[in-house]
């Protein structure tokens, strides 16, 4: 039987329900692995050892009695340290001037608890979920960045310290670190999951993100998280479909739209060659492949999204920034200062550009099931001075579209490579079915050393 730290969420759930795995023994094994790897990887802000063990004992007793709280009963997870957890400090990767001690869980955390999950603790984030790096290391090679801003969540899943973690994505903060760390990163449609109780970077752009080890894990986690939250006016009222039930449809080869324009033109030689090889492999397995051209609005989407992010970050931080500006790290400080200089006219124009981009993309998703491109132009950069380039993820975040990163190979330097798939708004069932088919076809099984 596989070591418990290598199990996926769905494997853990099945074994707990079958009486083959105790939630308590699983948490104990993961805590031991954290103890062994954390001095090098540095993925955690706090490990709630006592709280996790207590909850695991409760889940174990319930399982023995045949009572299961939900589809994540006994599944351990980590939370990026911008999620409020009752009684646990939220640091947002910043100094003490920004720390908060919430008295209630974020809506997403409450839903996870309600489904039976066990919270192991808080994972590292770049300061206020922007670009200033953490000390977290890539589990595949500690000399390289794990990406950001969901640095600790990706590193913890990639290092098999935990099978599931929540991140967030405003530009590329879930998919990019997941790709760098050999994990799956999934960002649903904007508004699909409530952001209440998650510290914002930019309200119009922020998404709850899922980092895990299989497409099935992403589907079952979204099933728990999705749905309107009356306490979050930005959460969508769209009906919640059966994401898990969509996966059996993955037997049909998908229609894929290959984006060479911009993405392969800007990717490094190794990533471009890898993406072409993956496309050929998927085509040989039966996928339909069509090279697509991006709409005219694509040319302005990056600037438009950046302006929205600048203004909304400035709006959220304005009061605190007025008295603590010097305590902010350089990149987030620069973002806020830029936002304070922009006018309302510029902000509205940027929001209109975002809407036009999403509307112009819609016809593409009538021709294909998903768009195909790299997650990033190169593997994880060496050194901890940068979290990498989010440019390849940015358009889909700024358009609010669902995206998923799948590990797809290993670069010459031993670091993971990944593909990115994008579908239309609120079409997560189709995206997950495509991703599951690609996952099965590619059969990625490499793991970091140790």
Q: Sheet with 255-258: list strands edge to edge.
A: 44-47, 118-123, 76-80, 165-169, 207-212, 184-187, 403-410, 416-422, 370-374, 255-258, 288-291
Q: What is the dihedral of CA 307, 376, 149, 155, to 10 degrees?
A: 170
> What contacts 278, CB < 8 A, 6 or more positions away?
372, 408, 409, 419, 442
Give the residue numbers annotated as catalytic, written as ranges.
80, 149, 173
SS (H, E, C) 108-161: HHHHHHHCCCEEEEEECCCHHHCCCCCCCCECCECCECCCCCCHHHHHHHHCCC
Q: What is the dihedral of CA 50, 56, 58, 61, to 10 degrees?
A: -140
Backbone angles phi, psi at 131, to 5 degrees: -100, -15
Cα separation of 409 and 324, whole Å? 44
Nearest Cα to Cα of residue 350 among 396, 297, 403: 297
Cα separation of 419 and 361, whole Å? 20
CA angle 270, 286, 179 (to 5 degrees): 35
The two tokens of residue 74 are: 């006994």
Contact of 130 with 306, CB cutoff 8 Å: no
């Amino acid at each position: 039987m596989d070591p418990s730290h290598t199990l996926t969420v769905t494997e853990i759930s099945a074994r707990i329900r079958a009486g083959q795995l105790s939630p308590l023994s699983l948490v104990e094994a993961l805590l031991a692995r954290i103890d062994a790897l954390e001095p090098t990887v540095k993925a955690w802000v706090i490990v709630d050892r006592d709280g996790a063990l207590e909850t695991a004992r409760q889940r174990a007793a319930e399982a023995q009695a045949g009572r299961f709280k939900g589809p994540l009963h006994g599944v351990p997870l980590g939370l990026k340290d911008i999620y409020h957890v009752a009684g646990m400090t939220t640091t947002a990767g910043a100094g003490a001037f920004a720390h908060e001690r919430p008295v209630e869980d974020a809506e997403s955390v409450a839903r996870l608890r309600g489904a039976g999950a066990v919270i192991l603790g808080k994972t590292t984030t770049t300061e206020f979920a922007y670009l200033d790096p953490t000390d977290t290391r890539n589990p595949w090679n500690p000399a390289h960045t794990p990406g950001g801003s969901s640095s600790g969540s990706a590193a913890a899943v990639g290092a098999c310290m935990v099978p599931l973690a929540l991140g967030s994505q405003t530009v590329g903060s879930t998919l990019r670190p997941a790709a760098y760390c050999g994990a799956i990163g999934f960002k649903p449609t904007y508004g699909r999951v409530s952001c209440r109780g998650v510290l914002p970077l930019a309200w119009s752009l922020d998404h709850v993100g899922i980092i895990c080890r299989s497409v099935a894990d992403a589907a079952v986690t979204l099933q728990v998280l999705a749905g309107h939250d009356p306490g979050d006016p930005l959460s969508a009222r769209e009906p919640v479909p059966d994401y898990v039930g969509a996966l059996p449809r993955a037997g049909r080869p998908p229609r894929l739209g290959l984006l060479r324009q911009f993405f392969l033109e800007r990717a490094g030689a190794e990533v471009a060659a890898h993406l072409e090889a993956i496309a050929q492999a998927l085509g040989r397995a039966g996928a339909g492949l069509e090279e697509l051209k991006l709409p005219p609005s694509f040319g302005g989407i990056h600037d438009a999204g950046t302006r929205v992010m600048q203004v909304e970050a400035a709006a959220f931080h304005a009061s605190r920034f007025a008295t603590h500006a010097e305590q902010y790290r350089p990149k987030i400080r620069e973002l806020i200062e830029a936002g304070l200089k922009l006018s309302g006219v510029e902000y509205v124009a940027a929001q209109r550009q975002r809407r036009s981009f999403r509307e112009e993309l819609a016809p593409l998703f009538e021709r294909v099931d998903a768009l195909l491109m790299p997650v990033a132009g190169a593997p994880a950069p060496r050194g901890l001075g940068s979290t990498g380039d989010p440019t390849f993820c940015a358009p889909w975040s700024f358009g609010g579209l669902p995206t998923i990163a799948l590990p797809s190979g290993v670069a010459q330097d031993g670091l993971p490579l990944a593909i990115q798939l994008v579908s239309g708004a609120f079409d997560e069932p189709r995206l997950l079915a495509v991703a599951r088919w690609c996952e099965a076809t590619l059969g990625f099984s490499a793991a970091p050393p140790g």
